[in-house]
């Protein structure tokens, strides 16, 4: 599947649609463009268009740009449980949101026993996915 060059391109398209197309036809127009030009499936295009154009107003494009600017970048979350001289379980969650409207998610978990004499019995796992 192809995607937008960046969120400014998406914002420009939404702006043109909201200025030129009546509100009742905007979702249909955007979903058709997504299918024809960006190889979206029909179902994904409709879901995407309904989400992006939910409010059917001229401010939709500005809202997309504002929210994308706030979200773009790397985000990290972490949880940890256990005790210092015993069982310790640590999980980190990393999200990368890129200007081209793609993302990557990675979850890494490490657990094991820790003692003042060294650690043993540790296990690590990692999983993740990427998307638009």
Model pLDDT for residues 1-18, shown as the tens digit of each residue? 566 778 888 888 888 888
- Residues 18, 65 within the same domain: yes
Measured at the CA of 97, the angle between CA 93 and CA 100, to 5 degrees, comes to 155
- Residues 34, 82 within the same domain: no
Number of structural domains found in the chain: 2
- Residues 65, 11 within the same domain: yes
- Residues 67, 115 within the same domain: no
Q: Residue 111's domain spans which residues?
A: 73-131
- Residues 84, 45 within the same domain: no
Could you read off the pLDDT of 70-116 as tens digits, one per residue? 888 999 999 998 887 788 899 999 999 988 878 999 999 998 887 77
- Residues 83, 34 within the same domain: no
Distances from the Cα of 19 to the Cα of 12, 13, 25, 58, 109, angstroms: 11, 10, 12, 7, 48
């Amino acid at each position: 599947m192809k995607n937008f060059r960046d969120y400014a391109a998406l914002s420009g398209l939404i702006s043109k649609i909201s200025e030129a197309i009546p509100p009742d036809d905007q979702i249909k127009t955007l979903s058709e463009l997504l299918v024809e030009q960006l190889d979206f499936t029909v179902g994904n295009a409709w879901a995407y268009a309904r989400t992006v154009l939910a409010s059917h107003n001229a401010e939709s494009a500005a809202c997309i740009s504002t929210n994308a600017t706030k979200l773009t970048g790397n985000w990290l979350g972490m949880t940890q449980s256990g005790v210092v001289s015993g069982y310790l379980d640590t999980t980190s969650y990393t999200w990368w949101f890129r200007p081209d409207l793609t993302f990557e998610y990675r979850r890494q978990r490490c657990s094991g026993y820790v003692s003042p004499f060294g650690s043993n019995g540790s296990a690590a796992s990692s999983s993740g996915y990427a998307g638009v």
